[in-house]
A and B are shown apart, each in its own frame.
Chain A
Amino acid sequence: MGAAPSGKEPGGGSAVRTVVVWCADWPAVSLGRPAERPVAVVRANRVVSTNAAARAAGVTEGLRRREAQRRCPSVEVHERDPDREARAFEPVVAALDGVTPRVEIDRPGCVLFPARGPSRFFGGDVAMAGVVRDAVLGALERPVAVGVGVADGAFAAGWAARRSLARAGHPARAGRRGSVVVAPGDSAAFLADLPIGALAVEGPAAVGVTAERRELADVLVRLGIDRLGRLAALDAADVVARFGALGLAAHRVASGDDLRPPHLTEPPPDLEVSVEPDPPLDRVDAAAFVAKSLADELIARLAPRGLAAVAVLVSAELAGGRVVERRWRHEGALSPAAMAQRVRWQLDGWLTHQRRLDDGRGPDPGGGPIVRLVLRPEEVVPDAGRQLGFWGGDRAARDRALQGLARVQGLLGGDAVRMAEWCGGRAPAEQFRLVPLDALDLDDEGGGSGPAVAGPAPWPGRLPDPPPPLVWGRGPAVQVLDPAGGGVQVDGRGTASGVPAAVLVDAGPPRRVEGWAGPWVADERWWDPVAHRRRARLQVRLDDGSVHLLVLEAGHWRLEATWD
């Protein structure tokens, strides 16, 4: 069975005619919030995705969380959760299975498949695009802006899909208006007017790695090559000489060719790995662990041959005998973590989808838990290798550590091993959050510590340094008493109703307050009736020498942190 879509278009280049379905702003719209509420998805304190309502209010990608909230006080801010996005996307992909068996997922929100077969079946590219669009919209619970693009090559098709989004207007309008079909052979002309920045944007058939892409686009612009057409007009040999393999890939893509070389070697069959989980998988966390070990095994088979997988087929046999398959494709080669993540998303999607079907229609005879899981690399490329750190041992130490930690994950579950990541906030407990190891990109060295390391950045209402070494998640209730024995409250102006003289922790013995400071009042999101939080904090030193941070909210004091 041919892995890569084959077939050269007569008269055109080597590019395969591809359909790309693009669900705009998937991270934001997959949350399922009403379309008129502005929603922003953040990661590490920066906005990574917005819905149309948020953009209309001025919230764009790349803003810091605070800036986004300043521009649009009513915006709903959610943390990025790739697992949830993948899970929510499964029904869409399942719907497309009815159109073609060769669906490949680029990322949650974007799928592609070869156009030739479905186009012939449905009577032309335009008709097929309409069918695809209807299928996708039918699978979505809420109207989402869906763009469908058909062109030679995945890159051109991706941009055609984006163009169709711009034209479609109202997201729910079906039919031809929602798709853009680029005639065979016209890809180069279609792409010619796009700015060079199009190379740097994420999407199917994007060249290289994000940082490399951006840098290349930057250099090209400064050299005066500001449109893809100009890049395509250059001689390929010159581009290679100046920019190397990355430049060549960009040149090919700008010319409307496919990135994939036309003749691919079929990966040998023994690169397939499979496992028969016992007991059969019907829970996501068990599936996650199996996914990880399977992905590691596949990488272990590929690496000695100097190969890396760019597309992988995840195939599962269910207890009832049905076999479900899904292809995942990734720009660049799939690292072990990325592969395991995709397998996990896939299993998560299937199990959740299965459960939903079972609930709706009664148990499906062909379905059931997963009894066999197969992972097969569909496309392999020579592994370019990775530059080891200058102190080469650093990476080796990391890999050893991750291997050992995987064992702990096996004992306790994937989410039990976590790392702290800066997410920005005012309260001591809100500045960092613990993220499961699998969800982190450990190569991103800078992303971990955030501005906390660079130096105290201005953050109005932030508590002064030094930060407390112990932060209680939901600390015990305390009572703060003034000399007369009455409770101490703090009014809106930040004045304490009395001098704190004694503190009782968790209804324990009263401890005398020997030193105190504050109150610091933080009035957060006062404009938002739902998210409004007014808190007042005190630093106290008790007679046993301990120093604590107490927080008052809605009339009750809690122990928030301790300096130890």
Chain B
Amino acid sequence: MFDTGRMSIRSLATGPVDDVDRAAVLGELAERIRPTVLAAERTLAAPPPLRPLFPAGGPARGSVLAVEGRGATSTTLALVAAVTGTGSWAALVGVEAVGWSAAVRAGVALRRTVSIDAPPTSRWATVVAALVETVDVVVVDPRHQVSPADARRLAARCRERGAVLVRLVVPDGRPRYRWPTSADLTLACDATWSGLGEGSGVVDGARLRVRADGRRTAPGAREVEVRLDAAGRLVGDEVPTSGGRGHLRRVV
């Protein structure tokens, strides 16, 4: 779903509007309708605040993404939301702990997202391969050691089919094994949730710093700082005022 919190079209009747502003507004509009045009192209849609992380402006079809760190789940939900919002389907395999309220807030289309219980280890690769052929985004969180052969086969299958495999690690305290192959792009997240005081306040959002490291790009090449607002949506950087709710937003 499109985030409309950041943008407003200034009424042209209220006074003189200079051309630079108008161009900026139109540019923003073009950005917003871009995802529908991308449907058949080589990238999937990405939430606008996270676009700078991807070399092509969105997750490249056929790539393997790894999302890790504190805030990985929220970032993944935002990515899934952007993709399902443009009509694609997504599947989560073995990610039973996802909070669906948060998913809905992030904009995930529930009617195009399926959740598959963690398959038995012996069938995990077969199931994920079948899903890669079917949907555009597959989010996995394997709790077993994925064999190098399986990892390579899955990556190849993704490339063939133009699907994106997202490797997520859910912080449930259980041990995880290293993937034998490296991802095409790794998003390292670092979230700081705010709002809690000493027995007062309430969790009201987070500052989320995401760094993208690719196989072929220099490490730390792209980094964005975004905010998860009180409603659970990912929004771009804003002019912060005092903490807590009701902060001002920079309006175009």
Contact = CB atoms under 8 A, between A and B. Distances in A.
A418 B73 contact: no
A466 B114 contact: no
B131 A408 contact: yes
Given A421-B110, A564-B70, A517 B104 contact: no
A411 B130 contact: yes
A411 B193 contact: no
Interface stretch (A17-25, A110-118, A244-252, A397-405): A397-405
B250 interface: no
Interface in A224-272: none
Contacts of B98: 469-471
Contacts of A420: 100, 103, 110, 113, 115
A476 B172 CA distance: 9
Interface in B72-116: 72-74, 77, 87-89, 91, 96-105, 110-116
SS class, residues of chain A in contact with chain B: mixed
B203 A539 contact: yes
Interface in A207-234: none
A416 interface: yes
A496 B200 CA distance: 13
A453 B116 CA distance: 23
Contacts of A428: 99, 101
Given A411-B123, A517-B199, A562-B171, A405 B134 contact: yes
A466 B131 contact: no
Interface stretch (A70-78, A319-327, A369-377, A442-450): A442-450
B87 A394 contact: yes
Q: Main secondary structure on chain B at its contact with chain A?
A: mixed
Contacts of A434: 115
B236 to A, nearest CB: 17
Contacts of A453: 104
B135 interface: yes
Interface string A452-475: 110000000000111111111100
B105 A452 contact: yes
B73 A419 contact: no
A347 B69 CA distance: 48
Interface string B116-150: 11010001001100110111000000000000000
A393 B119 CA distance: 31
Contacts of B238: none
A207 B221 CA distance: 63
B31 interface: no
Interface in B150-186: 170-173
Contacts of A422: 104, 110
Interface of A: 391, 393-394, 397-398, 400-401, 403-405, 407-408, 411-412, 416-422, 428, 431-432, 434, 437, 442, 445, 448-449, 452-453, 464-473, 476, 496, 499, 505-506, 508, 515-518, 539-541, 545-547, 561-564
Interface of B: 39, 70-74, 77, 87-89, 91, 96-105, 110-117, 119, 123, 126-127, 130-131, 133-135, 170-173, 191-193, 195-206, 228-232
Closest 9 CB pairs of A and B: A404-B134, A515-B196, A466-B232, A467-B101, A432-B100, A448-B110, A564-B73, A471-B99, A469-B102
